[in-house]
């Protein structure tokens, strides 16, 4: 044991060099791990948003309580992928995220319109009028602006899916890449 300690004391430069190399290797490993995790998260976000849009195309509605893009990992981490993608790939991913974010904004606006207290008051008044008349009847009240629905439909149908494109394949390759 004394021989080992004496060796370390006599070769502080070598010990420092070995520690420095270890720290640098650890830094690059953590950087690659973070990039790989973010690539996986971006792929998950893309897959989920596309799945929600496909559901919209089948049923012509979104659940107002859900967001298509709960997090936006692409915008927060685009700098990590600039060297891995061509300008076209970056543009297509950015456009996808932009459209999905806009759809989320529209859904939020529609939800706000439907929760507007004046509209709810009008619905309650209409229900009371029907009850007071004692006659069966219906009252139609426009809860959401038709323009909002048109914008939502138009934007949703114009989204170009990304999950099965070369850009997503590059993300998959990054997410599966080993650190060494």
pLDDT digits (tens, 9 = 90+) for 64-74: 888 999 889 99
Burial class of residue 42, CB neighbours in 10 A (0-12, 13-18, 19+) = buried
Per-residue model confidence as pLDDT tens digits over 88-128: 999 999 999 999 999 999 999 888 887 776 667 777 777 77
Per-residue model confidence as pLDDT tens digits over 161-176: 999 999 999 999 999 9
Which distant-in-sequence residues (6+ apart) come within 8 Å of 78 by Cβ? Answer: 90, 94
**What does the pLDDT read at residue 148?**
83
Q: What pTM was estimated for this model as a whole?
A: 0.75
Does the pLDDT value for residue 49 go beyond 90? yes
Q: How many Å apart are CA 84 and CA 106, to the nearest integer?
A: 32
b/e burial code for range 52-90 (CB count within 10 A of at least 16 → b): bbeebeeeeebeeeebbbeeebbeebeeebeebbeeebb
């Amino acid at each position: 044991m004394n021989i080992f300690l004496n060796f370390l004391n006599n070769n502080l430069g070598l010990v420092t060099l070995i520690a420095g190399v270890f720290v640098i290797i650890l830094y690059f490993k953590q950087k690659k791990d973070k990039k790989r995790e973010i690539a996986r998260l971006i792929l998950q976000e893309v897959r989920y948003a596309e799945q929600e849009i496909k559901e919209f195309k089948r049923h012509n509605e979104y659940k107002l309580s859900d967001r298509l893009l709960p997090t936006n990992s692409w915008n927060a981490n685009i700098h990590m992928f600039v060297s891995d993608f061509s300008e076209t790939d970056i543009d297509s991913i950015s456009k996808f995220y932009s459209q999905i974010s806009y759809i989320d904004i529209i859904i939020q606006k529609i939800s706000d319109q439907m929760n507007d207290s004046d509209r709810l008051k009008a619905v309650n008044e209409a229900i009371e009028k029907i009850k007071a008349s004692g006659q069966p009847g219906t009252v139609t009240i426009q809860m959401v602006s038709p323009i909002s629905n048109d914008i939502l439909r138009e934007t949703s149908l114009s989204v170009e899916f990304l999950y099965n494109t070369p850009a997503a394949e590059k993300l998959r390759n990054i997410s599966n890449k080993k650190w060494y």
